[in-house]
Structure formats: C-alpha cells, structure tokens
Amino acid sequence: MQLSDGFEGKLMPAGATAGAAVPTPLRGTAKYLPLRKALNRAAPYVFIAPAAIITTLALAYPMLQSVWLSFRDWSLGTPLGQSRFVGLANYEWLLHDPNFWASAAVTLTFAFAVVVVEVLLGVMLAILLDRELRFVSLFRTIFILPMMVAPIVVGLVWRYMYNEQFGTFAHLLKALGFAPVPWLSSPKLALISVIIADVWQWTPFIFILSLAALQSLPASALEAARIDGATHWQMVWHIKVPLMMPVIAVAALLRLIDAFKVLEVIYILTEGGPGLSTEIMSLHIYKTAFVSQQLGQAAALSNMLLLIVLALTVIFAALTAVRQRREKLAAARR
C-alpha cells in the first residue's frame, strides 16, 4: 500500500473491502493539523522503530560482523586491527578439521535423538492422559517447572545426580544391588546421559502442546467416527493423531531448532567430554573462540551453525504457511 494513504487507509481492512467502507465524512482532513496528520500517518514506523533499532544493533549487525570476521585470521588478545584477511581459509580449515565433523555429528545425534524421544513420549502421554482428570491445572503447572529452571541449574542438578560416588542414581543403583554406572565419564554413555537430562526438561513442552491440540480437535469429526462405531484406539490412530499432526510437526520443529541452541547443560555436565563425545557445535564455537582463541575460525563455525538453523527455520515457515492456507480453505468451504 502506498505511503500517501492516510492512517484510515492503512489499518488493514477486516474484510477485503472494509477499507472502502469507511464513511467518507470522517475522512475530512480539515480538522487535522498537518503535523498531527503526519504523526498519525507515521504511526506504524513510530511503533516499530525502537524494536527495529535494538535488533539491528544487537542482532542483525553482529550477524553481519560474524560473516566479515569469518574471512579474517584473528586471535583473541591481539587488537582487531591486526587481524588479516584470509579469504575462505577459515572455512577450508573447518571442512578439513576432524573435530568439526565430530562436533557436527554429536550435534545432529543429540538434536534428532532428543526430538524423537520427546515427541514420542510427549504425544503418547498426551493421548493417554486426554481424560477428565481432576487437579489438571496443578499437574500442568508441575510439568512446566522443569522448563522454567535455568539450563545452567539443570546442568548442576543432573551433574550431582549422576555423580558416581554420592549421586542420586549411584545411591539408587547401590540400594538395588547394581554396579555403579559411569554416567558422565564413559564416552559411550555421556551423550545418552546428556540426552536424558534434556528429555527431562523438554518432554513437557511437547506433552502440553499435544494435549492442547487434542482437546481442541473438532468435535464433529470425533462424533462422526463414534457414530460409525470406531473403537477408542481406532479413533486415536485414524482421527486424532492425523488431526494433531500439524501441531506435532510445529512443536517438533521448534524443539529441533532449540536443540541446536543447547549449550549450558552440556557445558556444566561434561564440558564436551570425555574426549569430544558431547561437544555440540554451540560449545565447539565457544571453545574455539575463547579457549583456542581463534575468533575467525569460531566465526566461520558460527555461520555454519546458523546456516543449519536457517534451513530448519525456512522449513518451519513453509509448514506454517501451508497450514494457514489449508485453514483458510477449510474456513471458506464452511
């Protein structure tokens, strides 16, 4: 829409033609002072300006800077002015660095493992508990508690519980007569232990979203199936799960994107070890930058991670768009 339109024209029409339906006498501009009119016309820009400025300063510009830095050789402690342009050398180094591939593999394993386990568990529990429960709101409150705890604290607690000498699991295993398990010190187990902690924290997210989706399914479809004599599990499998699918997909994708952000829990639990067995890319970026002090290489790494997340985000956006179009079609058909 053109800028010259008055404020009246810029409020998005409720229906397709509502914009034209504004009574003409109100459009009389005589009662507006020019300055006031200009201010009103600028309203959307005034509304969005503070957020635009902050995100430009604190997000967009840093991300551009990250691209620029990724072409430079710069180590922490030397002035930025002494860094030199090295072209694609940082990226080339990355692709030949076994540590990068190791951490990429850990990241992908971690992300897909937590999403699969959390979605399966969360959806199953939602279906199981889609009943007239008492104290539902109390239980729901309890289930969101793990998500509210700082990841750093989650790391602390699980590190304590995993402790081989005096941790909670050590006591439990001992009481049951089992040998102690090297939760965090075995390269094979460490990743699984880290995944368990994430599953504890985030399964409730999928569970609550799925339950909300289940309880807002169209009654007509369920009623029709019941009249046709569908059993409970047939209804779950053939009607409820397919109808829930869009929500499950969105929730799973959100979790997947968030799984690439995980850093704190692992930083506290294992610091990426033993060896590189739990060194996910976020942590690898941090270590490259502030332990190995190679800021240019770390920037290149950051951009790789950003590309992965960007690709997932595009899928997410496409999924949402498809869903909205389908809903609009369905609404039009009604």
Partner 1 sequence: MTSSSIRRATPASYAIVFVLALVALGPILVMLTTSLKLKTQIFGEGASFFFMPTLQNYDAVLSDGQNVRYLTNSLIVACVSTILTLGFGCTAAYAIVRFRFLGRDVASTATLLMRMVPPAVLTVPVFTIWTYQYGLNNTLTGVILVYTGLNLPFVIWILQSFLVQVPRQLEEAARMDGANPYQIFFMVVLPLIKPGLAAAAIFTFRIAWNEFILGLVLTNRFTRTMPVKVSLFINEHNIEWGQIMAVGALIAIPPLVFTFMASRQIITGMTAGAVKG
| Segment 44 to 63, residues that bind partner 1, using CB under 8 A | 44-48, 50-52, 54-55, 57-63
230 is a contact residue toward partner 1 (CB under 8 A): no
Q: Provide the 10 A C-beta neighbour count for residue 158.
A: 25
Stretch that binds partner 1, among 93-101, 108-116, 179-187, 283-291 (CB under 8 A): 283-291
Span near partner 1 by CB under 8 A; candidates 97-105, 108-116, 153-161, 185-193: 153-161
Greatest distance between any 2 Cα atoms in the chain: 88
Q: Does 261 bind partner 1 (CB under 8 A)?
A: yes
Nearer to partner 1, 188 or 254 (CB): 254
Q: Per-residue x/- marks for partner 1, 83-122, CB under 8 A?
A: ----------------------------------------
For the CB of residue 209, give the shortest distance to partner 1 in the complex, in Å. Answer: 5
Q: Which stretch binds partner 1 (CB under 8 A): 84-92, 97-105, 185-193, 322-330?
A: 322-330
By CB atoms closer than 10 A (0-12, 13-18, 19+), residue 155 is: buried
Among the listed residues 38, 43, 88, 105, the single contact to partner 1 using CB under 8 A: 43
| Interface with partner 1, residue 130, by CB under 8 A | yes
Q: 90: closest CA among 323, 235, 261, 303?
A: 303
> Does residue 132 belong to the site contacting partner 1 (CB under 8 A)?
yes
Q: What one-character-per-residue DSSP string does 186-211 give?
A: SHHHHHHHHHHHHHHHHHHHHHHHHH
CB of 280 to partner 1, least distance (A): 9
Judged by CB under 8 A, the number of residues near partner 1 is 123
Q: How many residues does the chain have?
A: 334
> Angle CA(177)–CA(179)–CA(180) in degrees, nearest 5?
120
Position 202 contacts partner 1 (CB under 8 A): no
CB of 266 to partner 1, least distance (A): 11
**CA gap 61, 220 in Å, rounded:** 50
Piece in contact with partner 1 (CB under 8 A), picked from 93-101, 176-184, 185-193, 198-206? 198-206
* Phi, psi values for residue 72, rounded to 5°: -120, 155
Residue 326 CA, chain-centre distance (Å), reads 24
C-alpha distances in angstroms, 258 versus 45, 48, 110, 179?
31, 26, 11, 35
Q: Does 331 bind partner 1 (CB under 8 A)?
A: no
Cβ proximity of 171 and 107 under 8 Å: no
